[in-house]
Amino acid sequence: MSHWYTGWKLWPDRPKGPVGDAYRQVTWIRPYRPGPLRVLVAIIGIFITTAPAFLSFSALLSPGPVMARLVYGVAFGLIATGLAIAVTRFFAVGVYVNDAGVRILTMRAMAVYPWRLVTDVSTTSVADDPAGAGKRVVITVRDEGPIATPVHRRSPDFVGRPEPFAMASLAIERWWRDASRMGEVPD
């Protein structure tokens, strides 16, 4: 492929070939894809967010007293901003990993743990559901105990999809095992 255009590019040139042993994953990645239900709810949320945003702009551009237009515009703008933050946060909920640690992001909080503090990553059944449909990935952290993650069979990512749940739980466990092999986790 000839490179006839040498100006701005969509993505940088990267060296071709296998990655060397010195490569370190430093950016946070989700080791599984967002499920179709999570994507659908996020798309619906984006469309719902456009209504107050449109009302905010139309209130600011409509004829009438300036103070009333500003009050309505700011009120609808705050509603649109709150909805946009909620939709973005809902879409981002999950477990993210890199070579240094694990990040657990929920709707309300975010926790980051280095791999050296993680003592176990396992898939367990939820106590109130002995049938097995309530399986969840649990990360055990030294000095804090077991921490339930948003990766479970009934989450919007995996509802009705047992195979992607199994692949996601195995991927998180592999990241932990690989980190212990690289010397990040003490034995």
Structural domain ending residue among the three candidates 91, 107, 135: 91
Domain's final residue, options 56, 71, 91: 91
Strand 118-125, strand 110-114: pairing: unpaired
For 89-103, how does the pLDDT look when each residue is reduced to its tens digit (9 = 90+)? 999 999 999 888 999
Comparing 182 with 130, the larger pLDDT belongs to 182
Q: Please check whether residues 61 and 103 belong to one and the same domain.
A: no
Domain assignment present for 114: yes
pLDDT category at 162 given cuts 50, 70, 90 is: confident
Instruction: Give the residue numbers spanning the domain of 45.
Output: 37-91
Same domain, yes or no: 119 and 162: yes
Query: Given this model, what pLDDT does residue 4 score?
Result: 55
Q: Determine the Cα–Cα distance for residues 5 and 121; give it in Å rounded to an integer.
A: 48
Would you state the structure tokens that stand for residue 60, as one six-digit string? 């600011």
- Whether residue 131 has pLDDT greater than 60: no
Assess whether pLDDT exceeds 80 at residue 17: no
**Are 83 and 135 contained in the same domain?**
no
For the chain, helix, strand, coil in percent to 5 are: 40, 20, 40
Q: What CATH number does the domain containing 167 carry? A: 2.30.29
User: Between 3 and 114, whose confidence is greater?
Assistant: 114
48 inside domain = yes
Question: For the chain, what is the mean pLDDT?
Answer: 85
User: Does 157 lie in the same domain as 98?
Assistant: yes
Give dist(CA 150, CA 139) in Å, integer.
11
End-to-end CA gap in the chain: 49
- Considering the domain architecture, whether residues 98 and 174 belong to the same structural domain is answered as yes
Give tens-digit pLDDT for 66-92. 999 999 999 999 999 999 999 999 999
